[in-house]
Structures are given as C-alpha cells and as structure tokens.
Chains A and B, each alone.
Chain A
C-alpha cells in the first residue's frame, strides 16, 4: 500500500487555513479600516505619535538587550557543556530544561521576590554596606532585563547544545595539536560552528520578548510600556480593534524582518563557514 499521504495531512492543513491564516488575513485587513473607509490612518496615527514611537523603540531595545545578555551567558554555559563529561552534560541539560518548562508566570513571580525591596538582592547590598537602605528593582529596565534574560536563556542554550552534542570531541583536537590556545580555538573553530545555533536562538529570544506580556506588565511596571501592552490596552480598555490590529501588524513586520535577515545571514556561507 503506497497510498498518498495527503488525506492525513488535510485536516491539519484545513485547520491552519481556517483558524490561522484566515484570522491573520482579517487582522491585516482590519488594520486598514479608517474613520472614512480603507486608509493608512491607523498606521499614520500610531507611528506619528511620539509616545507610541518611543514604545516601539523601547520594545526593540529590550529585545536586543535580551539577545545580548542571553548570548553573553549562553555561550559560557554551552562551553561548560562542551568541556564536560557525560554525566555533567546531562545535569546541564536538566538544569536548562527545568526553568524552560516552568510556567512563565511562575518565573515572573520568582523575579518579583528577587527584585523586591525585601528580596535577596536588596538585602545583600544592604548587608554588605553597598546600599544605605533597602531598594527595589521592580519597575526598572535593569530589573526587567535581568528577568527576561533568565526566562529566555534556555532558548539560546538548547540550540547551541544541540550542535555541540552532535560534534565529536576530537573536532578541536587538530587545532589543539597545532598549538592553538583555547581562546583561539573558541574564536576560529567553536564559535563559527555554534553560529547557526546562535541565529536560531536569537530568533526564538526575539519572538519571545515581543510576546512576554505578563513579565513586561508586572516587572516593567506602569512606567516601562512595551508593544504587547499597547495592543492589549487598545483591545481591553479602548476597544479600538483596527488600531490594535495596526500595532499587531507593526509588531509582526518587525519580527518578520528580523527573521528574514537572520535566515539570509545563516544562508550566507562565508559568514557561517563550513556549516
């Protein structure tokens, strides 16, 4: 029986068309509804407003800050994995998976405890005499980046580990034998090898930061506003659906542009080396 597989795929395809592609098309259509017929009114209003424009820039900045910090911490963890034996490797995977599979709201809650006035950071600073009185990092950009980085870190570690686990340890031996130091091996052999994983991770991290509504709302507070909250405000309190749609399309486009750029970079063979 070499039956065609198409009938099996059909239900999921129909589901995707009816409940995924169609709503998105409608969303895009909605975003062009102006007060007098189809227009770019919503986009003009959104991008013309100085506050909204700042929110958009803040969101992009937050995404880039999260990408930078997860990369800075993710690479040494991946290298720790690379230089470890079988058991230690399994422990590292386990330690990465626990936070990743723990609810986002739970992780956000943990950060409220950590960043608060009575939390461990503030208490330690006071105990060491580095701060005169207890302080809170809630509603600050620093606090938010600290939280977002921890929440998104597994997204960058796992693609890196996936690459390293497929690579035999002998891979760096040639470089070692020819006398290259560890930093040189890192820059010329390991990092180019990990680049596709970094790209995959960056896409995931950026997509995640542009959707982490709860963390941004709770830890960012009222003073730090990001695009997801703006969308929710238009829907939930202002009931301006066309405007919400336009903001959503802008969010989608900015994520999409990054996605395409990353894919193009990863296909550029000279940058990725031999991958």
Chain B
C-alpha cells in the first residue's frame, strides 16, 4: 500500500480547490461591490458595464437639491431613524447587558433567547405584526413607530455585542470600586461603562448600519411622508433604473468602508491594552 502523499495529483487537486476555487469565490464575493463603485462614475445614461467614460455627473445630480430633493429628504429620515435606533438600543440593551452580567448563569440562559429572538425572526413578519397591533391601538405608521420597530429588531445586536465584552470583565473590578467607597453611579461611569465601551461601539455600528439598510420593517411602519433611503432606492430601481442609484450606492459603500476602518482602529484588540 502506498501513502496518498506519494501521489501528487490529489494534493494538486486540493490546492486547486482551496486556492483556485476559493480564490475565485472570494472574487465573486467582492466583485459586485467593485462593480457598484465603478458604475457610479459612468459618463453614460445607462447601466452599461463596463461604464462609458468617467464622470462625476451622477454624484452632481444626486447632490443637487433641486433634482434630488426627495432623495435628500429620504436620506435625512434614514439618518434620523438610525441615530434614534442607536440611542434606543443604548437605553435598553446596555443596561440589560450590565444586569445580565450580575445574574446567575442559569437565569441568563433562560432569559437570553427571549431577548435575542428578534434576530432570528424574519423581520418582514415582525413588520406586519407591529403594523397590525399599532393599527389596533390607534397609531398610524410614522417615523416614531419605525424607530420603535428598529429598536426592537436591532436592539439585540447591541445587546449581543456588548455582552461579549461584558463576559470578559472581571467582576472584582466593580467590587473593588464599591469597596473603595464609590457610589453605584461612579462605579458605572468610571469602571463599567469604559470597560464596555468597545462592545457598545461595535453594537452602535451594527445597529446604525442595519437600521439604515432596513426595508422590511420600514415598509410597514413608515408613513408616506417618511420615505426612507432604501425604500426610495427600491422605488428608483423599480421605476426607471435611474443611474443616481449608482451614485447612492457609491456613497453608501464609501461610508461603510470609512466606518469599518475607524471601527478597526478603535476596536483593534492590540490597542485596548
């Protein structure tokens, strides 16, 4: 019997699978992002790819307050909703993280699935359920209703990000602070929150991005006046395949990249020590 090592063919095939096929898969994963960015600089009128020439005309069209008034309002609404959703999840999820860190493991195991459930549920189903109840109680779709929906659906992201950090915090740090005579408020402000900061930042980043991108909750909970950016883009795509959507995509991808690089700086484990 000869060992498979003596036969170079399977080894070659394996390498081709991992580095060849795997490499191609990575290209397939990233190519659409590159295509969306390059498309946004087209000088042409259509979505022909490769783009016909280079220009900033679609960015100009998008920034023009007269031609893109609706898009500006939609972007404003989306940013407002995302900011409020981050604030809401800070208020609800961060205390929950702190509280859970003080509870017995068995209690946490019992409560946690309940808090995290919105992450598994298709959010379209939740949007519909929230619409039915709001209507029942007498609330019409509005910006505030959308914010509440986003806090419920994305708050768990903040909880999960912060609790990953909370689990690593040595409980005797808070105890030491209390023993030294610090009030609970001082302990919270000077010890617990600074230790939790990286998790809270990561959570805020995730909630912001998800809220900005959300269609399925906003679809049901936002009213006609509160057009949000993804729904506006959806409408532009369905109606006319307006090339301004490419410019919007370019801006959104740029924003994601910037925030990712900043987050990497802030959250890089080597810099925490």
Contacts and interface: CB of A to CB of B under 8 A. Distances in A.
A and B bound? Answer: yes
Interface in A226-269: 228, 231-232, 235, 241, 244-245, 248, 251-252, 255, 259
A207 B125 CA distance: 11
B45 to A, nearest CB: 11
Contacts of A211: 122-125, 216
Classify the secondary structure of A's interface with B.
helix
A95 B10 CA distance: 29
Nearest to B102: A5
Contact of A79 (B22, B47, B92, B148): B22
A207 B230 contact: no
A116 B241 CA distance: 11
B155 interface: yes
A73 interface: yes
Contact of A76 (B22, B103, B220): B22
A109 B91 contact: no
Contact of A97 (B47, B103, B260): B260
Interface string A74-97: 101101100100000000101111
B144 to A, nearest CB: 12
B93 A110 contact: no
A35 interface: no
B140 to A, nearest CB: 15
A182 interface: yes
A153 B29 contact: yes
A114 B122 contact: no
Interface string B225-246: 0000010011001100100011
Contacts of B216: 211, 213, 228
A235 B131 contact: yes
Interface residues of A, number: 87
A179 to B, nearest CB: 4
Interface stretch (A12-20, A46-54, A164-172, A191-199): A12-20
Given A76-B25, A79-B22, A105-B230, A186 B14 contact: yes
Give the one of B36, B230, B252 with max A CB within 10 A.
Answer: B36
Nearest to B23: A80
B193 interface: no
Interface residues of B, number: 94
A98 B259 CA distance: 11
B74 to A, nearest CB: 12
B168 to A, nearest CB: 15
A16 B47 contact: no
Contacts of B22: 76-77, 79-80
Contacts of A83: 18-19
B250 to A, nearest CB: 9
A19 B124 contact: no
A272 to B, nearest CB: 20
Interface in A132-189: 150, 153-154, 179-184, 186
A44 interface: no
Interface in B4-33: 4-5, 7, 10-11, 13-15, 17-19, 21-23, 25-26, 28-33
A112 B92 contact: no
A164 B224 CA distance: 47
A19 B152 contact: yes
Interface string B121-138: 111111011111100100
A98 B35 contact: no
B85 interface: no
A7 interface: yes
B49 A118 contact: yes
Contacts of A179: 3-5
A126 B273 CA distance: 56
B266 interface: no
A112 B155 contact: no
A98 B256 contact: yes
Interface of A: 1-13, 15-16, 19-24, 26-27, 30, 73-74, 76-77, 79-80, 83, 92, 94-99, 101-114, 116, 118-120, 123, 150, 153-154, 179-184, 186, 203, 207, 210-211, 213-214, 217-218, 228, 231-232, 235, 241, 244-245, 248, 251-252, 255, 259
15 contacts: A11-B92, A27-B132, A76-B17, A76-B22, A80-B18, A80-B26, A95-B26, A101-B256, A106-B252, A113-B39, A114-B31, A179-B3, A211-B216, A217-B234, A252-B122
Interface of B: 3-5, 7, 10-11, 13-15, 17-19, 21-23, 25-26, 28-33, 35-36, 39, 46-50, 91-93, 95-96, 98-103, 111, 114-115, 117-118, 120-126, 128-133, 136, 148-149, 151-152, 155, 159, 174-175, 178, 184, 187, 209, 212-213, 215-216, 219-220, 230, 233-234, 237-238, 241, 245-246, 248-249, 252-253, 256-257, 260
